Amino acid sequence: MIAYIIRRLLYAIPILIGVNLITFALFFFVNSPDDMARIHLGVKRVTPEAIAKWKADRGYDKPLVYNTDAPGLAKATDTIFYRHSLKLFVLDFGRSDEGRDIYYDITNRMWPSLAIALPTFLVGILVYVTFALLLAFFRGSYLDAGGVVVCVVLMSISTLFYVIGGQYLVSKLLHLVPISGYDDSGWLAFKFLTLPVAVGVVSAIGANTRLYRTFFLEEIGKDYVRTARAKGLSEARVLFRHVLQNAMIPILTGVVVVIPLLFIGSLIMESFFGIPGLGSYTIDAIHSQDFAIVRAMVFLGSVLYIVGLILTDLSYTLVDPRVRLE
Amino acid sequence: MKYGVRARQFLAVVLVVTAVPAMAAWNNPYPAADTGKNILYSAFRERPKHLDPARAYSSNEYEFIAQIYEPPFQYHYLKRPYTLVPLTATAVPEPKFLDRQGKPLPRNAPASAIAYSVYEIRIRPGIRYQPHPAFAHDDKSEYRYHALTERDLAGRYTVADFPHTDTRELIAADYVYQIKRLAHPRLHSPVQSVMNDYIVGLRDYAKTLKQAHDKVAGGREEGVFLDLRNYPLAGAQEVDRYTYRVTIHGKYPQLLYWMAMPFFAPMPWEADRFFSQPGMAAKNLTLDWYPVGTGAYMLMENNPNRRMVLERNPNYHDERYPAEGEAGDVEKGLLRDAGEPLPFVDKVVFSLEKESIPYWAKFLQGYYDRSGVLAESFDQAIKFTGSGDTDVSDEMKEKGIRLLTSIAPSTYYMGFNMLDPVVGGYTERARKLRQAVSIAVDYEEQISIFRNGRGIPAQGILPPGIFGYEEGCAGVNPYIYDCVNGQLRRKPIEAARKLLAEAGYPNGVDEKSGKPLLLYFDTPAIGPEEKAQLDWTRKQFAKLNIQLVVRATDYNRFQEKMRKGDAQIFIWGWNADYPDPENFLFLLYGPNARVGHDGENTANYQNTEFDRLFERVKNMDNGPERLFLIRQAMAIARRDAPWLWGVHPKQFLLEHVWVANAKPHNMANNTLKYLRVDPALRAGQREAWNRPVAWPFVVVAVLLVGGVVPAFIAWRRREKKGATE
C-alpha cells in the first residue's frame, strides 16, 4: 500500500505543474502586470512611475516565462513564472500582492471554513443516509413516492434560493438566529453557524438522498439480501446490517474525496453569510486580481483534491476487504 | 394516567414555545454582554486595502483611519460651505509669499510673481498618542520593542501580543516625518506625484531616499528601517518642538485642503522603527495594518474579513462639540451637545457585510445604527411626497427611522473621446453632434428610473457645494436646457434633431456617405444587471436615429482603451478630494489628458482658452474675479460639450432614532466622534423588534411525525403479515 501511495504522490507532481501552468496562463491571459498594479494602486492619480515601482517591488517587471535578456539558466529563472509559482511546491505561498503572508492568512481563515463545512458535511451525511434509508425502507409506499418527488423538487432549486429563503424565513421573519456574521466563541459561534449549516444541509438533501436511495435499492435487489431475508432477518436488520455496509463503496467515492476540500470553504455560503473563510479569501483575491493568492489557493485546492482521491482509494480497502491497493 | 403524563409533557413544550418571546433576542449578532453599552454599530462592504496614511486614499480606508490619524486641520462639522478649522494646529495659517529671491510679497501679490508659499503650522502642546508598544520603554529607559529578535517575535501576531505600551507627546517633527514618508520608495504614496510639483525638494528627495534605502537594505527586501529624521527635506522643516514649516513652489491655496487629509497626519518615528524590524512584515505586523495616531479612536481589532473595532483613545486631547453651525441646525437638535467633550461613543464596531440583503435586514432589526438606502429596498424605505420631495416610508417612520440627504460633491458623466474622428474634435460639425446627443440623453429620466430620484442633472462640471456652482437659471447650460419661469427645462428633442442635421447627420444619416450614423459606447459593464441601463442608453440615441453599439469589455481592457484613446463614448466619475473648483476643472485641463499624460482628463479635451483660464483660476482665492473666470471656462466647456455632464448623485442615509448629531458631511471623514447613541433605547427597541417565533418549527415537527407514523404502522403491518404468512 505504501508503494501505491508513493506512486500516486509522484503522479501528482506533473499534475500540479500542469495546474500551475494553466493557472498562470489563464491569469495572465486576462490580466497584465500593469492591470494588476492599477487595481492595487487605485483609480485616482496613478502615475506610470508608481506602476513601474509597484511591479518592480513584486517582481512583476520580469518577462512572463522566458527572459531573453538574461544569461544562461536565468533565461528561465529570472521570470515571473519561476519566481512566483515554483516555490509553491515546497508550500512556500509567499506574500500576497498587498504584502501579507499568505500562509498565515490561510491558516487563520481555514478555521471558519472548517467550522461551517465540517458540520455541514457530517450532519449532511447523516441526514442524507437516514432519509435515503427511510425511503428505501418504505420503498413502494406513498412515503417513498412522495419522498422522491420532494427530492426532485428540492434538487431543482438553486442554492441561492435556499440561502436567501433561509435568511428571510429563519432570521428575518422568525428571528431565531443572526442573519449573517461569524464569531468563534461558544454560544455566539453556534448561533452564527446554525443557519449556514442548516441551509448547506437542506440545499443538498434532494440530490444526495435520491442518489443514496438508488445505491440502497440497487443493493436491496442483490442475492445476498434475498439470502438474508430467507434466513429470517428483519427488514431493518437487513438494511442497516447488510445493505448499508455494501452501499458504502459508491457513497465513499463521492464523500471521501471532498473531505480535504472542506478546508477550502464554500464560495457562496461564506459570501452570503459573512463567514471569513478561505472561500471568501479566494473570491476577494480574484476581484482584486491578486495573483499571489489566486495561484496559492488553486494550488492548495489541487493538492487537497489529489489527497482526497488517494484517501478515497484507501477507504475502499477499509469497507471492502476484496479491494487491495498494489 | 398515561395520557395525563403525555398531556402534561405536551403542555410543557407549548409553554416553552410560548415563553420564547419573553426571552432575549436570539438573532442578536453581538455578545449579550455588549447590550446596553455605548457602542456604535456599523458595517463595511469592502475591506480597506491600506491603513497607512501615506498610502490610503479610498473612502472605505478613510472611514477608519480618519478617526485615528489627525492632520493639522479638519472641516467644521456643521458649517456650510465647507470650512477648514484647526484640529491639532492652533490656527489655519495664512501663507507667506516669497519671490524668487526669497523676499516677502504682499498677500495680494499676483500668482505669477509668487515663487514660494510658506505655511508655518503651530500645533497644540500636550496632545498625546494612543497607547502603543512602539513607545514602551524598559527599566533602562531603552525602547522595549525596538530591537526584537526572531525569538522575541515568536508567538506574536498582533500588536495586542506586545503587553507593554506607552505614549508620548505629539510634536511638530512627527508631521515633518510623515511628509517625508510621501516620498518613501517602498510606500507608493498616491499623492507623491502631485506633491512633487509643489513641496520644495520632494522630487529630488524621493531619489535621495531611494539611494539611501538601497544602501541601508543591502539587498534585503524587508526589515529595513530608513530613519527619515536623518534626511532633511527643504520643503518640510521643524521650526521648534511645536511648529513646522511647509514650503511649496508658487501659489497653491489647495494645499490646506490636502493638509486636512490623512496624508499629512503625524507619524511618530518610533512607530516606523517598530514596524520596520526584521520579521514583523512576515507576521503582517505593519503600519499598513496597525495605525498609530492621536485621534479620538484607536483600532483595537483589525480583522477586515470579519470585523474592525475602534475604541476610544484614552489619551485623546480636549476637543469639544462645535458651538455654532448653519441655519436650521438648532431646530434639528444638532447643537444640543455644543461644548461637550468628544467623542461621545466608547466603541465603534464595523462588521463586514458584503451582501445587501443581510445588511438591510440587520439595519431593520436594529443591529446596525445607520444604513445607506439600497436600490433593492428603496421602495420599502423611501416614499415621495406630493411636492416631489422624499421622506421615509410609513414602515420606517413607525420604527423611528430618519432620512438624511445630501448632494455629493461628485459627478458621473458620459464622456466623448475628443480624439475620436467622429464624435471628437473641435469642428462645428462635431460640436453640434455632441450637443445634439447631450439634449437627447434624458438624465432626468435616468435619475428617475435608475437612481430612484437620487441625483440632480449636472449643468456643468461643478457639483453643488463647490465654489462656482450656481443654482437655477444662473447656472444653466444653455446648450441643453432652457430657463422657463425660473425653472430649467431640457430642450425638446426637435432641437437636438435640428443640431444633428446642422452637423451633417439629418435624421441620423451621414449626408456625406449616406450611411446611418453608428456610434460606439465603451463600457466595462458586462453583467446582466447593467442590461437595462444599456438598453435605456441605446434608446436615448435612437431618439435621433443614431445607432449605438455597446462595446462591453472587461475592466482591464476598458481601462486600456481609455489609456490608448480607443474608446468613443464612455461613462466616468469623479469624487472631490477637496471642496475647490480646481479639483473639478482640472478634469478638462489639456495637459492632464488621459492619452499621453495618464491624467484624469478622460475625454482628452484640449482647449487653449479653457486651459489658460484654468491656470489662472486654480491658484486664486475665492471671490468675484474667480467666479467670473470660472463662468468663462464653463461657457467654453459647455459649448464644446466634451461631456454629457451627467449627474451629481444625491446621498441618502437612514439612521435609527437612538442616533443623535448625525449631519451628512461629504468632505470630512473623522465624523464618528460627533455621533451619540442612546444604548438603553436601542436595547429596548431591538428586543421589541426581534422576538423569536419558534412555533412554525413545532408545526413542521408535528407534520413530519404525522407523515412518518402512518408509514411506520403500514410497515409493521406488512412485516407482521409476512411473518404470519
Domain with residue B165: its CATH number is 3.90.76.10
User: Of A49-58, A308-317, B335-344, which one has max mean pLDDT?
Assistant: B335-344
- Say how many domains are in chain B: 3
Average of per-residue pLDDT across B405-420: 94
Render pLDDT for A118-135 as a digit per residue (tens, 0 to 9). Answer: 999 999 999 999 899 888
Taking alpha carbons only, the member of B30, B56, B225, B666 closest to residue B404 is: B666
- In chain A, positions 185-204, which contact chain B (CB-CB < 8 Å)? 185, 188, 191-192
What residues contact B427, with CB distance under 8 A and at least 6 apart? none
The domain boundary residue, chosen from B280, B306, B330: B280
* Residues B186, A172: C-beta atoms closer than 8 Å: no
Does B59 contact A at CB distance below 8 Å? no
B586 and B698 within one domain: no
Work out the mean pLDDT of chain B and round it to a whole number. 91
* Residues B556, A30: C-beta atoms closer than 8 Å: yes
B156 and B10 within one domain: no
The domain boundary residue, chosen from B262, B280, B298: B280
The minimum CA-CA distance between A284 and chain B, rounded to whole Å, is 9
* Partners of residue B185 in chain A, C-beta under 8 Å: 53
Q: What one-letter code names the amino acid at A130?
A: T
Share of chain B above pLDDT 70, in %: 96
The domain boundary residue, chosen from B617, B650, B683: B650
Burial of B34 (0-12, 13-18, 19+ CB in 10 A): middle
Per the DSSP assignment, residues forming a β-bridge with B405 are B652
pLDDT at position A2 is 83
* Higher local confidence (pLDDT), A267 or B314: B314
- Tell me which of A57, A176, A188, A195 to substitute to probe the interface with B (most B C-beta atoms closer than 10 Å): A176
The minimum CA-CA distance between A176 and chain B, rounded to whole Å, is 5
Beta strands in B473-565 (DSSP E): 481-484, 487-490, 518-523, 547-552
Q: How far apart are CA A157 and CA A199, in angstroms?
A: 12
**Assigned domain for B35 exists:** no
B147 and B14 within one domain: no
Does A75 contact B at CB distance below 8 Å? no
B93 and B173 within one domain: yes
B718 and B590 within one domain: no
Render pLDDT for A10-22 as a digit per residue (tens, 0 to 9). Answer: 988 899 989 988 9
**Assigned domain for B376 exists:** no
B593 and B449 within one domain: yes
Average of per-residue pLDDT across B62-71: 96
* Partners of residue A137 in chain B, C-beta under 8 Å: 715
Q: Are A183 and A116 in contact (CB under 8 A)?
A: no
Share of chain B above pLDDT 90, in %: 76
How many Cβ atoms from other residues are within 10 Å of residue B16's Cβ?
A: 11
pLDDT at position B42 is 95
Render pLDDT for A153-176 as a digit per residue (tens, 0 to 9). Answer: 999 999 899 999 999 999 999 999
pLDDT at position A87 is 80
Q: Are A248 and A317 in contact (CB under 8 A)?
A: no
Whether the pLDDT of residue B9 is over 80: the answer is no
* Residues A53, B185: C-beta atoms closer than 8 Å: yes
Confidence of residue B364 (pLDDT cuts 50, 70, 90): very high
Rounded to 10 deg, the angle between the A248-255 and A186-220 helix axes is 140
Render pLDDT for B588-606 as a digit per residue (tens, 0 to 9). Answer: 999 999 998 888 999 999 9
Taking alpha carbons only, the member of B530, B532, B503 closest to residue B519 is: B503
Q: Sign of torsion, CA A239 A245 A249 A254? A: positive
Residue of chain A nearest B364, judged by CA positions: A172
pLDDT at position B722 is 57
* Residues B286, A99: C-beta atoms closer than 8 Å: yes
Whether the pLDDT of residue B348 is over 90: the answer is yes
Average of per-residue pLDDT across B450-458: 91
β-bridge pairing B569-575 and B410-416: antiparallel
The minimum CA-CA distance between A3 and chain B, rounded to whole Å, is 38
- In chain B, positions 156-195, which contact chain A (CB-CB < 8 Å)? 157, 185-186, 188, 190-194
**Assigned domain for B663 exists:** no
Taking alpha carbons only, the member of B191, B200, B270, B263 closest to residue B228 is: B270
pLDDT at position A104 is 87
Q: How far apart are CA A122 and CA A114, in angstroms?
A: 11
B577 and B500 within one domain: yes
B266 and B123 within one domain: yes
β-bridge pairing B347-352 and B39-44: parallel
Residue A271: which of B58, B284, B355 has the nearest Cβ? B355
Residue of chain A nearest B576, judged by CA positions: A44
B631 and B704 within one domain: no
Does B694 contact A at CB distance below 8 Å? yes
Does A92 contact B at CB distance below 8 Å? no
Average of per-residue pLDDT across B497-504: 96
Residue A178: which of B28, B554, B719 has the nearest Cβ? B28
Q: How far apart are CA B620 and CA B627, in angstroms?
A: 10
* Residues B351, A274: C-beta atoms closer than 8 Å: yes
Whether the pLDDT of residue B8 is over 80: the answer is no
* Residues B355, A41: C-beta atoms closer than 8 Å: no
**ipTM score:** 0.84
- Tell me which of B284, B553, B578, B589 to substitute to probe the interface with A (most A C-beta atoms closer than 10 Å): B284
**Assigned domain for B286 exists:** no
Average of per-residue pLDDT across A254-271: 81
B13 and B61 within one domain: no
Average of per-residue pLDDT across B563-582: 94
- In order of their start, the domains of chain A are 2-90 (no CATH), 115-319 (1.10.3720.10)
Average of per-residue pLDDT across A292-314: 89
Residue of chain A nearest B61, judged by CA positions: A42
B620 and B709 within one domain: no
Confidence of residue A323 (pLDDT cuts 50, 70, 90): confident
* Partners of residue A276 in chain B, C-beta under 8 Å: 303, 305-306, 352
Render pLDDT for B531-551 as a digit per residue (tens, 0 to 9). Answer: 899 999 999 999 999 999 999
B144 and B13 within one domain: no
The minimum CA-CA distance between B92 and chain A, rounded to whole Å, is 27
**Assigned domain for B329 exists:** no
Whether the pLDDT of residue B20 is over 50: the answer is no
- Which residues constitute the domain of residue B223? 53-280
pLDDT at position B725 is 46
CATH number of B468's domain: 3.10.105.10
Q: How far apart are CA A99 and CA B56, in angstroms?
A: 15
Taking alpha carbons only, the member of A66, A97, A99 closest to residue A80 is: A66
Residue of chain A nearest B49, judged by CA positions: A98
* Partners of residue A174 in chain B, C-beta under 8 Å: 692-694, 696
**Assigned domain for B371 exists:** no
Element (H, E) at B194: helix B192-196
Cis peptide before B81 (omega within 30 of 0): yes
Complete DSSP assignment for B305-324: TTEEEEEE-TT----B--S-
The minimum CA-CA distance between B257 and chain A, rounded to whole Å, is 16
Residue of chain A nearest B28, judged by CA positions: A178
**Assigned domain for B469 exists:** yes
Q: Are B598 and A47 in contact (CB under 8 A)?
A: yes
Q: Are B246 and B235 in contact (CB under 8 A)?
A: yes
**Assigned domain for B432 exists:** yes
Render pLDDT for A133-148 as a digit per residue (tens, 0 to 9). Answer: 888 888 888 888 999 9
Residue A174: which of B57, B355, B693 has the nearest Cβ? B693
pLDDT at position A241 is 83
Whether the pLDDT of residue B44 is over 80: the answer is yes
- In chain B, positions 307-366, which contact chain A (CB-CB < 8 Å)? 351-355, 357-358, 361-362, 365
Confidence of residue B6 (pLDDT cuts 50, 70, 90): low
Residue B190: which of A46, A100, A105 has the nearest Cβ? A46
Q: What one-letter code names the amino acid at B239?
A: V
Complete DSSP assignment for B310-368: EEE-TT----B--S--STTTTTTTTTTTTTPBSP--SEEEEEE--SHHHHHHHHHTTSS
pLDDT at position B429 is 96
Does A274 contact B at CB distance below 8 Å? yes
Q: How far apart are CA B292 and CA B131, in angstroms?
A: 9
Render pLDDT for B206-232 as a digit per residue (tens, 0 to 9). Answer: 999 999 999 998 878 778 999 999 999
* Higher local confidence (pLDDT), B321 or A66: B321
Tell me the count of A-B CB pairs closer than 8 A: 152
Residue A180: which of B186, B353, B719 has the nearest Cβ? B353
* Higher local confidence (pLDDT), B69 or B23: B69
Q: What one-letter code names the amino acid at A40?
A: H
The minimum CA-CA distance between A113 and chain B, rounded to whole Å, is 12
